Copies of this chain bind each other. A is one copy, B any other.
Amino acid sequence: MSKSRNILLDVLRLTKRPKLQNHTSFLASRPNSTASPNPFRTPKGIPKPAPPRRRILQALVGGATFATVVGAQFEERTDAKANIDQVEASEKKPRQIRLHEVRQHNAASREPWVTKGTSVYDITDWVDAHPGGDVILRAAGGSIDAYWNIFTIHKKQDVYDILEQYKIGEIDETDLIDGHVPQDAIEDPFVTDPARDPSLRVLTAKPCNAETPPEALSDFLTPNPTFYVRNHMWVPVVEEPESEYRLSIELPDGEEKSYTIKELKERFPMHKITVTLQCSGNRRKDMTVHAKQTNGLQWTAGAISSAEWEGVKLRDVLADAGIGALGQKLPEDARHVQFMGLEAYGASIPISKAIDPLGDVLLAFKMNGEELPRDHGYPLRVVVPGNVAARSVKWLRKIVVSDEESLSQWQRRDYKCFGPNVSNPDWTKAKSIQEMPITSAITSVLSPSSTEESRNQLTVEGYAYSGGGREIVRVDISTDGGKSWDQAELLSDSTKGSKAWCWKRWRYTGPCRSCDETTLVVKATDEAYNTQPESYEAIYNPRGNLATAWHRVSYAPGT
């Protein structure tokens, strides 16, 4: 491991872990922060009237979108003083800075710098206000471009305007190669990511987003190495033992409790629950193909997998911490349970789901009988059965019980749907996806054998899944493009948990009605008798979420 990497890891340890270990809140340990029972309690979309620094910190801790905070900051910076600063800056000849100087202003420095293109910025005053938190220090001493290529939400004018305010100079031309800052000056944040199974179908390598291959989709429980991977960032490196890794829980009254993993395991009953996790973008590529272009990872039918998860129930831990015990009245402001990952990802679920005796929300340590793999949240993740996988936050470090949803972009923006006519959504107008709608997919087609009696027999297999623990009650198959239907056999797999949290595997063997070239179609029905939409046009959304229309697969005998 390189020296700079060690420094970065030290910085991350220094800035995060001691606070959790001391049972003090992240906010309280910061300079300039005023005492507050719950910094997350801000009215939706309207910042509280508070001192500028305080206001930004609220958003930072809550994991607000960069854009939200940027808005506030930009407003502050348009005062008279800021204008004068800008005018003065534009009149000076840019200072020429050598690359080795930049490297000294790394994460360990009191004055961290970054470069963007050939410009140099002193971000010392910005670190505290950065919505992603201290993560920005990973870029200190080098270029921020690689990070912004990952976190593309930064790529807009109002964010550029913020950064421009911290500009201190330009990289000396001596250090440029063909006019660019050389590539080896950029720290690769993914160098510590785990090795992965080569059969995974990789959509993006950094961060890793990879589908379960079709052959692994035929298992009821997906083997850990081929369980689909959906990472928003790099995989955090955790080196503490179980007796030191702490999960902190902040209650609406501001009180904060914490538990080491060792304590969680010793103090609460362990449960095993079989749960399917599915990305909201599963089968997004179908929507692109059958309707029109969508933004986001072009998953086929493999952004879904199932496992037996083992851990303690969130409701038991919350009750111990003081929220939602049996017979106890919930405080009015306990409406959402926010989860924060080590890598800055955040999301939340409604409190009703968190404390539902039949909700089965787990704080999981194990996956299919093994220690959680690093890609799937080692050492601790949430598993929210029946909900979109985006709420099952990995590398869990903090829980906040709040009157508000998580402020993260993954709660407030990305995982929502709009009408098929809406190209430029007002994100505040839609509910974040929690329970998933019903869906199904064909995962394999076995060609008829060459014997006379089976020449017109097809065997088709796949899965069906519905959110909210709603059991799949029927799978309809068409071998003539949807003109006529038959029912698939539903396989009897052994599940664990209070509701139907797992996909239903199905198999259809029957006559192929038009066994020339044809389209095979599957649609499923759940116990609330909800069914899938027929086509993509009427559920189209530019983000390509919830691509759940009938799954159509072209089939030609002999192919």
A residues touching B (Cβ–Cβ < 8 Å)? 326-327, 352, 356, 358, 417-422, 430-431, 433-438, 467-468, 470-471, 473-474, 476, 482, 484-487, 498, 523, 525, 527-535, 538-539, 546
Give chain B residues whose Cβ lies under 8 Å from the Cβ of A484: 421
How far is A530 from B437 in the complex, measured between Cα atoms in Å? 5
Q: How distant is A525 from chain B, measured CB to nearest CB, in Å?
A: 7
Q: How far is the CA of A470 from the CA of B526 in the complex (A)?
A: 15
> In the complex, how many angstroms separate the beta carbon of A441 from the nearest chain B beta carbon?
17
Whole-angstrom distance from the CB of A497 to the nearest CB of chain B? 13
What B residues does A352 contact at CB under 8 A?
358, 498
CA distance A530 to B470 in the complex (A): 12
Q: Is the CB–CB distance between A485 and B538 below 8 Å?
A: yes
Could you tell me the distance in whole angstroms from the C-beta of A189 to the nearest C-beta in chain B?
A: 33
Contact A437 B474 (CB under 8 A): no
Residue on B with the closest CB to A535?
B534
Partner of A485, one of B419, B528, B531, B546: B419
CB <8 Å contact, B430 and A473: yes
Q: Are B326 and A476 in contact (CB under 8 A)?
A: no
A467 and B528 contact, Cβ closer than 8 Å, known pairs A419-B487, A484-B421, A485-B538: yes
Contact call A538/B523, Cβ cutoff below 8 A: yes
Closest B residue to A356 by beta carbon equals B358
6 contacts across the A-B interface (CB closer than 8 A): A419-B474, A419-B485, A430-B474, A482-B538, A485-B538, A530-B530
Tell me if A546 and B534 are in contact (CB < 8 A). no
Given known contacts A326-B326, A327-B327, is B527 in contact with A476 (CB within 8 Å)?
Answer: no
> What residues of chain B lie closer than 8 Å to A531, measured between beta carbons?
437, 533, 538-539
B527 touches A434 (CB 8 A): yes
Contacts of A486 in B (CB 8 A): 419, 421
Chain B residues with CB under 8 A of A431? 471, 473, 527
Assess the B528–A476 pair: CB atoms within 8 A: no
Q: Which residues of B contact A421 (CB under 8 A)?
A: 476, 484-487
Q: Taking the nearest CB of chain B, how far is it from the CB of A197, in angstroms?
A: 31
CB-CB under 8 A from A482, the residues of chain B are 538
Chain B residues with Cβ below 8 Å from A471 are: 431
**Given A358-B352, A420-B476, A534-B534, A528–B435 Cβ distance below 8 Å?**
yes
| CA A523 to CA B533, docked complex, whole Å | 11
Residue of A437, A523, A529 with most partner-chain B CB within 10 A: A529
The smallest beta-carbon distance between A290 and chain B, in angstroms, is 14
Identify the closest chain B residue to A545 (Cβ): B529
Question: Which of A438, A471, A528, A532 is most buried by chain B, counting CB atoms within 10 A of its CB?
Answer: A528
Task: Give, as a whole number of angstroms, the nearest-CB distance from A10 to chain B.
Answer: 44
Within the complex, what minimum Cβ distance (angstroms) separates A445 from chain B?
20
Separation of A233 and B200 alpha carbons in the complex (Å): 61
Write out the residue numbers on chain B whose beta carbons fall within 8 Å of the beta carbon of A358. 352, 356
Beta-carbon contact of B430 and A530 below 8 Å: no
B528 with A468: CB separation less than 8 A: yes
Q: Closest residue of chain B to A475, judged by CB?
A: B419
Q: Which residues of B contact A533 (CB under 8 A)?
A: 531-534
Chain B minimum-CB-distance residue to A482 = B538
**Which residues of chain B come closer than 8 Å to A437, judged between CB atoms?**
528-531
Q: For residue A476, which residues in chain B have a CB less than 8 angstroms away from its CB?
A: 419-421, 538
Instruction: Give 6 closest A-B pairs by Cβ, nearest first.
Output: A435-B528, A534-B534, A437-B530, A530-B530, A437-B529, A421-B485
CA distance A538 to B521 in the complex (A): 12
CA gap between A95 and B420 in the complex, in Å: 75
> Min CB distance, A471 to chain B, in Å?
8
